[in-house]
Each structure stands twice: as structure tokens, then as C-alpha cells.
Amino acid sequence: MSYIVPIGPYHPALEEPIHARLYTEGEVIKDAEVFVGYNHRGIEKLATERNAIQTLVLVERVCGICSHSHALTYAMCVEQINGIEVPKRGEYIRVITAELERLHSHFLWLGVACHIIGHDSMFMHIWDERELIMDLLEELSGNRVNYAMVTIGGARRDIDAELRAKLLKACDKLKGPMDRIVEIALNDKTIALRTKGVGVLKKEDALRIGAIGPHARASGVDVDVRRDSPYSSYGDFRFDVPVVGSGDVFARVVVRALECYESIKIIEQALRNLPDTPINLGNKLLKIQKGAAVCRHEAPRGQLTQMVVGDGGFNNHRLSVHVPSYKNTPTIPFMLRGNSVADAGLIIASIDPCFSCLDR
């Protein structure tokens, strides 16, 4: 029997509203369509009525998980238009915050994925360790979600010797739990049964559609903006880019788990080699000079791109935000085909979607 099975826009397995229409033969998905646009907030329009400092606050609200990524990318655009050079210490603090945010995002997703497949003990274990990362972000910025660590021309808060020692100790402490989590994720039979061979995205499809971030790297696409086009101070650090070729949900688990180790590696390098410079150029309200800039950042979900256009006034003339989920969402129908209806929620969630980002 043929059926049309709707998933969403409200569904227990979905964190945010998306509508997937599944065309099935019995329990098998033969084809699928995906519809977005349930969460539009008009942030790009609001930005045209705000100055640069106000926009930093605004773009952090594009996404609660990768809020620093949006603020960092916007600041880089304004700095490029105005010819501002950020002090090296400010760049390092930006990178430390970005990698802590990546850890937070990946731990959150790994926990949610375990919850979807019914492995709630693993879900609670991962989120328990995630609290340590949240505590570090709160120690660093004063906030657990929107960190407000970026200002035009640098970072808003410094890292003193005491905090640096505390962050280094916490990073070292996190490695033990991470080893246990990765060992369970790679060897647990429940996780393997629900993820191996499920929701496969072939490398040729990932390249043709334009998938990015961990989602693309799990399909064998070796791409990472931090390495391929270094920005901020990423060129100062040594790190690897995990790539797995199987393209299934299990590969996406592996890639994100391995990326956590690389983030810790970057954070430790940055903390041990913090330059002795100012952290910013002073919190000044400046005009955005006439011109345009496009900047990219490897956010937790993949390449985040922003374009800022200035007309010489205090407010943005135009802000355009191009988020990773915009590139990764079109891969969902390809991953769903041939799979069971029971796996649809997990497959959709495996791209780590942020539809509030997409519907900005």
C-alpha cells in the first residue's frame, strides 16, 4: 500500500519546525519532500535599522547554539569594510570562545541523537558532561547561551591568569569523559543498529547539492574553512579535520565526536600562547563605511557566510546571513529514500538542523 506520511512541522523527534512529506510503500520511504519557512523573524530587515553594536546583539539571537559564530562573522565583515585590524589577543579569545561553542553544540547534538534512538542513559551521560562546557562558557563570558564576547575591533572580555589556568585544567578534565563517550558511541550495539547504514548521503550527492560542515565531512568531503581559508587567528594553530566516507548517520556521530578532540586541541594552544596585546580597540560607536564585505566562519554546523553593506552611516544598509542549514537541508530527501519511516526523525536530525537560523 502507498501512503503519504507527514512529519512535522511539530513532531516529538524534531527540535524545530520543519515539514517532511514522506511517500511510502508500506514502511519504506520511496521519496520525500521537505518544506521550511515556519519560523521567520525578519532579522535581516531589523539589522537595517540598527548600528553595528546593536547588530551584534541582534545577530547573536539568530541562533542560540551558535550565537558567537554569528556575532564573530558580522564583526569580521564590519572590520573588513572599515579596515580595522583586531589585536592578536582579541583574535585568540574569539577563537577560544568559538571552539568552546563547537564543543557545546556537538555535545548537545550527540545527546539529542541518543535520545531519538531511545538510548536515554547515554543521552543523560553526554548532557551531564555538557554542563562542564556550559560552566566554562559562563566562567568566560558570564552567560550560558548568548555570550556577548565580540565587539567591533576585538573581544569584550579578557582572560586573566587565574581563568586561563582554570580553563586549561577543565579541558584536561574533559578528555576522560570524552574518551568514554566516544568509546560507547563507536562500540554500543544499540547505536550501531540504529545508525549504521541509515540515512546514507553519497559523496557525489553531497558535492552536487553543496553540503557543508560535519554533514559533508561524514560523506567524505574534505572541507573546512578554518583550514582551507584561515581567518581570525586559525592559521596559528595545528589541528586535524576528521573525514569519514560512509555517509550514514553513524559517520555523522563519528565526525562530530572526533571534532571535539580537535576543538580542545585548538583551545589549549590558544590559552598557552595568549599574546600580550590589548583585547580590543575600545568600544566605540562607529560608522560603517561605504562598501561591502563577505566573510565566512566554520560554525559548528558548517560554513556560515554573512554579507554586510554599508553606506557611510551608523546603520547597516544591508545584512545577508547564509547559514549552514540552508545548504544541508536539501540533502534530507536523498537520505530518507530507501529507509524506514521509523528512522525519518533521526535522519532529519542527523544534519544537526537549525531552522531558526534558516528562517532568519
340 lies in a domain? Answer: no
94 lies in a domain? Answer: yes
- Domain limits for position 329: 42-334
**Residue 316's pLDDT band (boundaries 50, 70, 90)?**
very high
pLDDT of residue 337 exceeding 80, the answer is yes
Q: What is the percent of the chain where pLDDT is above 90?
A: 68
Give residue-wise pLDDT tens across range 59-101.
999 888 889 999 999 999 999 999 999 999 999 999 999 999 9
**Residue 13's pLDDT band (boundaries 50, 70, 90)?**
low
How much is the mean pLDDT over the chain? 91
200 lies in a domain? Answer: yes
CA distances to 28, 138, 167, 173, 330 from 132, rounded to whole Å, are: 41, 10, 11, 9, 34
pLDDT reported for residue 189:
87
pLDDT reported for residue 230:
94
CATH code for the domain in which residue 198 is found: 1.10.645.10
Rg (CA), the chain: 20
**Residue 190's pLDDT band (boundaries 50, 70, 90)?**
confident
262 lies in a domain? Answer: yes
Query: Which helix (H) or strand (E) is 158 found in, with range?
Result: none
162 lies in a domain? Answer: yes
142 lies in a domain? Answer: yes
150 lies in a domain? Answer: yes
351 lies in a domain? Answer: no
Give residue-wise pLDDT tens across range 192-220.
888 999 999 999 999 999 999 999 999 99
pLDDT of residue 270 exceeding 70, the answer is yes
Exposed, middle or buried, 77 (CB in 10 Å: 0-12/13-18/19+)? buried
Provide the number of structural domains found in the chain: 1
Neighbours of 180 (CB within 10 A): 12
**Residue 181's pLDDT band (boundaries 50, 70, 90)?**
confident
